[in-house]
């Protein structure tokens, strides 16, 4: 299969030199460049993740960085391929690359090299038993992104929540597995926070997807292709508020029913954050979370023994910080009367993340 040249990745790295120490030095240089590349991509395209990564447990930062860049690759595929067939080929490339990475023969892709380095470190820390969970979660993200390669509205708000669970919550599960941690309570928190983050991601994307696309570049260097404007708001919410796609394309935030629809979707995200905050408070006080975990017993959500929930929350708190930028966006969205076009990144997010870490509150 033809592989496009990586413009900003490892395409220009020299091949490893032969000989013991030279070979090791070359491999170390490749990994260092892979890490620098991934961090640079996050800093450029995902400000929230760049702020959060500094508070993720240090041994897990490589996994966090690799997964975030992989997610960026997958999210941008609809804009950077000319037809669904090429998109499916790119998805298969990533699926095969992840398989090879877990098999110990990673392709010379920044994401794969950094992920393999993280797996080796996880094994040295006695966490090899988490490999199966980690691969399962990564594969689920890829599979979910593959199902949503076209910009079609979600049929319902429940379908949007399921998508968020299978992407943003799942990225959090994968990061927790790399600690390594298997905690029903922390996974439960991650489920609610990830759903909120996924819903917020849809709201953030409205001004971008509703307009004809400007030229963009994926982290691997693929240029964008022309795409039609799209509105991904759930169809049941649009029906309830009388909103139509065409009216948004023509009138933007002034479209009849638009702000009501955004309010309904944003409220669901906020509900998940409220639930997560109440759960966190209960768990930190040594109490029951307050309600059962709806995904308990599903694949990789089987918990054989009880753990110290308060301790687990402390260990995994950096991962739970995904709640902070989601809440920050919802606060700004409400101030702008639920007009996503009017929301701008502000200076308060770094302070809010710092405060959350200091107070152990989300």
- Determine if the pTM surpasses 0.85: yes
CA-to-CA distance for 360 and 362, rounded, in angstroms? 7
Predicted pLDDT of residue 272: 98
Predicted pLDDT of residue 236: 97
Predicted pLDDT of residue 176: 96
Tens of pLDDT along 79-103?
777 777 888 899 999 999 999 999 9
Range of the domain at 150: 20-359
Q: Which of 231, 219, 227, 205 is nearest to 83 (CA)?
A: 227
Give a yes or no: residue 2 inside a domain. Answer: no
Residue 193 CB neighbours (<10 A): 30
Tens of pLDDT along 197-207?
999 999 999 99
Give a yes or no: residue 15 inside a domain. Answer: no
Predicted pLDDT of residue 214: 54
CATH of the domain at 326: 1.10.600.10
Give a yes or no: residue 124 inside a domain. Answer: yes
Continuous segment of H or E residues that includes residue 219: none
> 3-class SS at 217?
strand
Overall number of domains in the chain: 1
Predicted pLDDT of residue 8: 43
Predicted pLDDT of residue 135: 96
Give a yes or no: residue 114 inside a domain. Answer: yes
Give a yes or no: residue 330 inside a domain. Answer: yes
Q: Which of 137, 172, 4 is nearest to 73 (CA)?
A: 4
Give a yes or no: residue 175 inside a domain. Answer: yes
Predicted pLDDT of residue 212: 67
Give a yes or no: residue 174 inside a domain. Answer: yes
Give a yes or no: residue 96 inside a domain. Answer: yes
Residues of the chain with pLDDT under 70: 1-24, 212-227
Judge residue 131's burial from the number of C-beta atoms within 10 Å of its C-beta, 0-12 exposed, 13-18 middle, 19 or more buried: middle
């Amino acid at each position: 299969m033809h592989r496009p040249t990586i413009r900003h990745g490892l395409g220009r790295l020299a091949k490893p030199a032969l000989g013991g120490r030279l070979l090791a030095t070359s491999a170390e240089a490749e990994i260092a460049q892979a890490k620098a590349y991934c961090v640079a991509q996050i800093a450029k395209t995902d400000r929230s993740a760049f702020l959060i990564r500094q508070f993720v447990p240090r041994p897990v930062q490589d996994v966090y960085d690799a997964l975030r860049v992989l997610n960026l690759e997958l999210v941008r595929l609809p804009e950077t391929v000319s037809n669904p067939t090429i998109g499916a080929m790119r998805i298969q490339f990533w699926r095969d690359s992840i398989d090879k990475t877990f098999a110990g023969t990673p392709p010379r892709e920044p994401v794969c090299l950094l992920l393999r380095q993280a797996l080796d470190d996880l094994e040295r820390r006695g966490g090899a038993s988490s490999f199966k969970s980690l691969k399962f979660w990564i594969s689920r993200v890829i599979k979910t992104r593959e199902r949503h390669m076209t910009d079609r509205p979600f049929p319902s708000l429940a379908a949007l929540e399921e998508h968020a669970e299978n992407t943003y919550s799942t990225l959090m599960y994968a990061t927790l597995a790399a600690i390594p941690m298997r905690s029903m309570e922390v996974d439960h928190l991650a489920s609610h926070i990830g759903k909120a983050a996924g819903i917020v991601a849809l709201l953030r994307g409205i001004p971008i997807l509703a307009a004809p696309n400007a030229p963009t570049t994926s982290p691997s260097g693929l240029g964008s292709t022309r795409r039609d404007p799209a509105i991904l708001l759930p169809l049941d919410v649009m029906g309830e508020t009388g909103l139509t796609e065409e009216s948004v394309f023509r009138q933007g935030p002034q479209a009849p029913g638009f702000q009501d629809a955004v309010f309904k979707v944003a409220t669901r995200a906020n509900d998940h954050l409220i639930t997560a905050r109440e759960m966190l408070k209960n768990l930190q006080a040594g109490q029951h979370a307050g309600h059962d975990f709806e995904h308990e017993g599903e694949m990789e959500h089987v918990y054989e023994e009880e753990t110290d929930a308060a301790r687990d929350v402390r260990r995994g708190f950096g991962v739970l910080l995904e709640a902070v930028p989601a809440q920050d966006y919802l606060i700004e969205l409400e101030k702008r009367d639920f007009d996503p076009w009017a929301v701008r990144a502000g200076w308060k997010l770094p302070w809010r993340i710092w405060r959350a870490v200091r107070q152990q509150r989300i």
